Chains A and B, each alone.
Chain A
């Protein structure tokens, strides 16, 4: 966090968030009016402070088996239109976000603009069925908590490029990981089993899979893999498995 590069990327993040959400943190406005080097370093310090105060764990990719476990523990749940798709597609019909717990349900009621398209209350069984359906359709599941408090926000079902955090991670680089983290798992291909059919290719939203015509196999860039498990779910040869990230030394600390 002390790196100048990190601070600079943080400024980049806040600038993009400003454009993205229309919710300008006052800091960005300040940053754009800076004149001297002293002002710049003062600004950089406050950004560093801000990142330190934000929880480093706001959203994380979760594979479907983790989704099942979380739903068992979850409180009241409702389905609303995707917040990112609202901003990037002006679409309010596809309700792919699932609010979990009373805090955000209350917020949703107070801000009808945030939940254009309506709030649809669901039981645990209905949510589970819905999430399995999203999995079949190829959405990446993510689980979110509040930026400034430990309140749980809910599940999102994301895709590139209309999921803001996913898009920004892919387009701007991995420094964005303080907003969206990879899963606790990473996919691994059993190359003896892989037939190179390429069915999994269309499922990867993180551009981690390529089919090599020379080897006749699908190659997985484990440094890019977010461990969502979508490719594994369509592999007919059962050649892809999810292994805990902690057990793979090379990517253990890549979030």
Chain B
């Protein structure tokens, strides 16, 4: 599993964490989604059912694309987002 992850995902330098307990969700707030220049945050309905509209949406961060500008930290009204920076594993 580790090997697959290593070959499949481009190297990350930033880790974006969202505190789900503080977060209001994308439909009420969604400021991180709307302001992120790299469109790192991804949202989708938690339940999919034919003919129905779901009001409970999940937010995840695809931080392989993160540029590290920290705009999300500034716009989040609940301070639910934290960034941590990862060391490069090897020099090219």
User: A residues within 8 Å of B by Cβ?
Assistant: 8, 11-12, 15-16, 19-23, 31-35, 40, 86-91, 110-113, 116, 161-162, 167, 171-172
Given contacts A21-B44, A111-B50, A167-B39, A90 and B26 within 8 Å (CB-CB) = yes
- Contacts of A112 on B, CB cut-off 8 Å? 51-53
User: B residues within 8 Å of A by Cβ?
Assistant: 1, 3-5, 7-10, 26-27, 30, 33-34, 37-39, 41-45, 48, 50-54, 57-58, 60, 62, 64-65
Give the number of residue pairs across the A-B interface with Cβ within 8 Å. Answer: 79
Task: Please measure, in the bound complex, the distance between the C-alpha atom of A32 and the C-alpha atom of B89, giving whole angstroms.
Answer: 22
- Nearest Cβ in chain B — how far from A15, in angstroms? 5
Task: Please measure, in the bound complex, the distance between the C-alpha atom of A16 and the C-alpha atom of B64, giving whole angstroms.
Answer: 10
Q: Is B44 within 8 A of A87, CB to CB?
A: yes
Task: Please measure, in the bound complex, the distance between the C-alpha atom of A32 and the C-alpha atom of B64, giving whole angstroms.
Answer: 18
- Contacts of B38 on A, CB cut-off 8 Å? 161
Given contacts A32-B4, A34-B4, A87 and B42 within 8 Å (CB-CB) = yes
Q: Is A90 within 8 A of B33, CB to CB?
A: yes
- Nearest Cβ in chain A — how far from B18, in angstroms? 13
Q: Is A22 within 8 A of B62, CB to CB?
A: no
Q: Give A5's nearest chain B residue, CB to CB.
A: B7
Given contacts A22-B44, A161-B38, A113 and B4 within 8 Å (CB-CB) = no
Which of A40, A113, A161, A171 has most B Cβ within 10 Å?
Answer: A113
Q: Is A90 within 8 A of B34, CB to CB?
A: yes
Q: Give A115's nearest chain B residue, CB to CB.
A: B53
Task: Please measure, in the bound complex, the distance between the C-alpha atom of A12 and the C-alpha atom of B30, giving whole angstroms.
Answer: 27
Name the one of B5, B30, B33, B53 contacting A113, with C-beta atoms under 8 angstroms.
Answer: B53
Task: Please measure, in the bound complex, the distance between the C-alpha atom of A110 and the C-alpha atom of B64, giving whole angstroms.
Answer: 34
Q: Is A90 within 8 A of B52, CB to CB?
A: no
- Contacts of A113 on B, CB cut-off 8 Å? 45, 48, 52-54
Q: Is B42 within 8 A of A19, CB to CB?
A: yes
